[in-house]
């Protein structure tokens, strides 16, 4: 149950940016303080992303104070920076429902508000989107319209951001890119661009020079009509000399401004007002602190990215304590198992694009720093980098969230599958990702992976199966190998069992039955186990088979199923179009079987955010829905127990 909390006296009066504009610039600091406190108050009792939005409070206030939103287009990147934006744009009273089932989305969402100009759950899309908006406005003759992309420095390291910058520099567009430089995405940033930002920010000669440059240029420009042109050349020359390199953004034909203090709201408002009148592509470099205003979040920014519920006074993160051991998270099973395997096999390497704590590869990065790599927000690079490692006889485990792997589809085809390279692609957050919603649901991986030649596509039903698949994938000549598993906890307390090789393309029978067989793939099969137990209590005995592999299929097992059972249900936590159920139907048609088949899975629709069990129920493949489907298919009650 979400909890409503009161806002500060000034913040209570702001239901839109037009209300914000009624205040004086002197009020902006207090409004920023109240906005920051409101985010702390709400997130501490209701959960959600935390540090990112705290870091851009002043920037958010200044942008909505100066810009004419929503006519002026504001794009956030990544969207977990946008809590303050949501609160200032008419959603304060509903903000306590953030990330809850049927409540506000945790990210900007076009259908939620006209102020949300672009859906931004994945990173590095803002510059491309804002540039498209700017070019469209120019084409339509809307010369007064502003277009602003607020991009975190972690997102700036992605290839797509570079592509957009390269295009924007030659496009005749009214575009402002605001670089939110806090040296963090979720985990600390990596790569040369991070070092470049640090060099600019900390260069004392450059910052000293910047303090006087405006005064000097104003004097020089008064000399004559050509003086300003030479003065600008002088400024660029001095910048390059002081920074020991030409400015990267100016090389791309952006006017570069900064770095400036991203927490000085009055100065931000002044600068934004000035930039509004300068045509062409511009970049404003703001230095901020992720978690600003909450000391613990400033100190440990990764931990406080999305801490869950916490005591805002003591900072104690509230955890549920159990009186007996609980199953681990699947990501932790991966994290511990890859170390165990790597200790036995010196060829194993670990790769992740900016999610080491999210996928638990941080465990290997600490234990074996020369064998585990965070490559930044760069999924395409992660896959092809892994392919390069594989050409030299190494066995890379490339761990990417299922929804993020969509961004590297071509690399999977071109760089891994066609060349038959032994890259092990571990897809975390497969199925419903929960409260992060449709931008993060791993709905499509079974469908988009099983259509690619040379891939093995698998899904473990539990932690032991995950370990066995990881073991199998690193064996000699295993080839391209996909293992997908869900967010959250598994089902086994005793999960650290000795690993063994599995026969690729062989499923398993969980329980025997009569009349009807249920075929499941992956961890959602545990809902089938619950359903069959309940059905057995009522004298109904469907069989249950775990496919384990959707490519290659266990054809011997499927021949058994279609020979013995006249009714079949398939269950998957992936899209029905082209998924595991489709594979089963294709097998049935190809082999001229005739059975009544019902497919359960994610329908052809965008499913919003909510806890996983809520979404399973909504889509009709939780245990209760499976029971209902079995009964609707009309199997006969049978009182004798069938041995497994």
Tell me the C-alpha distance between 20 and 3, whole Å.
25
Tokens of 523: 């961890």
Asked whether the beta carbons of 123 and 377 are under 8 A apart, the reply is yes
153 is in an annotated binding site: yes
Asked whether the beta carbons of 405 and 424 are under 8 A apart, the reply is no
155 is in an annotated binding site: yes
CA distances from 223 to 135, 212, 214 (A): 37, 18, 15
φ, ψ of residue 620 to 5 degrees: the values are 80, 30
Catalytic residue among 290, 467, 487, 548: 290
152 is in an annotated binding site: no
332 is in an annotated binding site: no
Catalytic residue among 86, 92, 239, 379: 379
Is 407 catalytic? The answer is yes
Strand 348-352 and strand 395-401: the pairing is: parallel
DSSP 102-159: TS--SS--TTT-TT--S--SSSS-HHHHHHHHHHHHHHHT-TT--EEEEEEHHHHTSH
CA distances from 443 to 99, 304, 439, 447, 505 (A): 19, 28, 10, 9, 22
Catalytic residue among 92, 109, 371, 407: 407
Asked whether the beta carbons of 157 and 123 are under 8 A apart, the reply is no
CA distances from 120 to 105, 156, 231 (A): 11, 14, 40
Sign of CA dihedral 431, 433, 438, 441: negative
φ, ψ of residue 13 to 5 degrees: the values are -85, -5
Angle formed at CA 339 by CA 444 and CA 302, multiple of 5 degrees: 65
610 is in an annotated binding site: no
Is 290 catalytic? The answer is yes
**Backbone Cα Rg of the chain:** 27
Q: What is the SS3 assignment for 239-307?
A: HHHHCCCCCHHHHCCCEEEEEEECCCHHHHHHHHHHHCCCCCCEEEEEECCCCCCCHHHHHCCCCCCCC
Residue 414's CB: how many other CB atoms inside 10 A? 13
Is 450 catalytic? The answer is no
Collapsed DSSP state (helix, strand, coil) of residue 595: coil
- For residue 624, what are the contacts with CB-CB under 8 A and spacing of at least 6? 531, 617
Q: Is 348 exposed, middle or buried (CB count within 10 Å of its CB: 0-12, 13-18, 19+)? A: buried
φ, ψ of residue 201 to 5 degrees: the values are -65, -35
Q: Please write down the long-range contacts of 414-420, taking CB distance under 8 Å and 24 or more positions apart.
A: 415/383, 415/384, 415/387, 416/383, 416/386, 416/387, 416/390, 416/480, 417/452, 417/453, 417/454, 417/455, 417/480, 418/453, 418/454, 419/387, 419/391, 420/454, 420/479, 420/480
The torsion of the CA quartet 509, 510, 514, 517, rounded to 10 degrees, works out to -70
263 is in an annotated binding site: no
Residue 236's CB: how many other CB atoms inside 10 A? 14
294 is in an annotated binding site: yes
Collapsed DSSP state (helix, strand, coil) of residue 400: strand
Known binding-site residue numbers? 80, 121-123, 153-155, 182, 294, 379
Known binding-site residue numbers for Mg(2+)? 153, 182
The set of catalytic residues is 290, 379, 407
């Amino acid at each position: 149950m979400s909890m409503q909390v009161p806002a500060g006296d000034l913040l209570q009066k702001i239901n839109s940016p037009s209300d914000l504009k009624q205040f004086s610039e002197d009020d902006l600091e207090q409004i920023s303080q109240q906005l920051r406190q409101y985010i702390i108050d709400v997130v501490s009792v209701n959960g959600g992303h935390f540090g990112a939005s705290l870091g851009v409070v002043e920037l958010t206030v200044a942008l909505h104070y100066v810009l004419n939103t929503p006519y002026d287009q504001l794009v956030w990147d990544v969207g977990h920076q946008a809590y303050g934006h949501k609160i200032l744009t008419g959603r304060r009273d509903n903000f306590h429902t953030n990330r809850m089932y049927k409540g506000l989305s945790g990210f900007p969402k076009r259908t939620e508000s006209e102020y949300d100009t672009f859906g931004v759950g994945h990173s590095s899309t803002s510059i491309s989107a804002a540039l498209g908006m700017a070019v469209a406005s120019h084409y339509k003759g809307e010369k007064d319209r502003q277009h602003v992309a607020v991009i975190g420095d972690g997102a700036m390291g992605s290839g797509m951001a570079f592509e957009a910058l390269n295009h924007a520099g030659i496009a005749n567009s009214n575009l402002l890119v605001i670089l939110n430089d806090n040296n963090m995405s979720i985990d600390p940033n990596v790569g040369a661009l991070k070092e470049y930002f640090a060099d600019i920010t900390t260069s004392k000669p450059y910052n000293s020079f910047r303090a006087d440059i405006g005064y000097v240029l104003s004097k020089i420009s008064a000399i004559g009509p050509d003086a300003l042109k030479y003065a600008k050349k002088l400024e660029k020359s001095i910048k390059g000399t002081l920074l020991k390199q030409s400015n990267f953004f100016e090389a791309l034909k952006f006017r570069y401004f900064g770095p400036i203090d991203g927490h000085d709201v009055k100065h931000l408002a002044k600068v934004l007002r000035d930039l509004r009148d300068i045509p062409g592509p511009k970049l404003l470099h703001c230095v901020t602190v992720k978690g600003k205003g909450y000391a613990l979040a400033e100190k440990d920014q990764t931990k406080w990215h999305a801490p869950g519920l916490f005591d805002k006074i003591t900072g104690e993160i509230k955890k549920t304590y159990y009186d007996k051991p609980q199953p681990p998270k699947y990501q932790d099973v991966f994290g511990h198992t890859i170390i165990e395997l790597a200790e036995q096999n010196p060829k194993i390497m670990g790769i992740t694009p900016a999610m080491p704590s999210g996928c638990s590869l941080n465990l290997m990065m600490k234990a074996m720093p020369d064998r585990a790599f965070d490559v930044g927000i760069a999924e395409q690079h992660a896959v092809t980098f892994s392919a390069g490692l594989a050409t030299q006889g190494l066995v890379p485990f490339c761990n990417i969230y299922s929804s993020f792997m969509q961004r590297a589809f071509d690399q999977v085809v071109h760089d891994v599958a066609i060349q038959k390279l032994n890259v092990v692609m571990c897809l975390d957050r497969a199925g419903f990702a929960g409260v992060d919603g449709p931008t993060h649901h791993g709905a499509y991986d079974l469908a988009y992976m099983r259509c690619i030649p040379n891939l093995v596509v698998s899904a473990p039903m539990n932690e032991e199966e995950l370990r066995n698949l990881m073991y199998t994938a690193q064996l000699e000549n295993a080839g391209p190998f996909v293992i997908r598993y869900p967010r959250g906890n598994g089902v086994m307390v005793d999960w650290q069992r000795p690993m063994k090789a599995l026969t690729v393309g062989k499923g398993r029978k969980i329980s025997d039955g009569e009349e009807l067989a249920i075929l499941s793939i992956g961890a959602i099969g545990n809902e089938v186990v619950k359903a069959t137990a309940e059905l057995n209590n009522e004298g109904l005995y469907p069989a249950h088979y775990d496919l384990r592999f959707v490519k290659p299929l266990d054809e011997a097992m499927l021949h058994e199923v279609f020979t013995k059972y006249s009714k079949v249900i398939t269950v998957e936590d992936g899209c029905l179009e082209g998924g595991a159920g489709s594979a089963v139907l294709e097998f049935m048609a190809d082999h001229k079987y005739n059975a009544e088949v019902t497919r359960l899975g994610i329908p052809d629709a965008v499913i919003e955010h909510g806890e996983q069990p809520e979404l399973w129920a909504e889509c009709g493949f939780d245990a209760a829905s499976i029971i209902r489907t079995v009964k609707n298919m009309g199997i006969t009650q049978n009182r004798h127990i069938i041995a497994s």
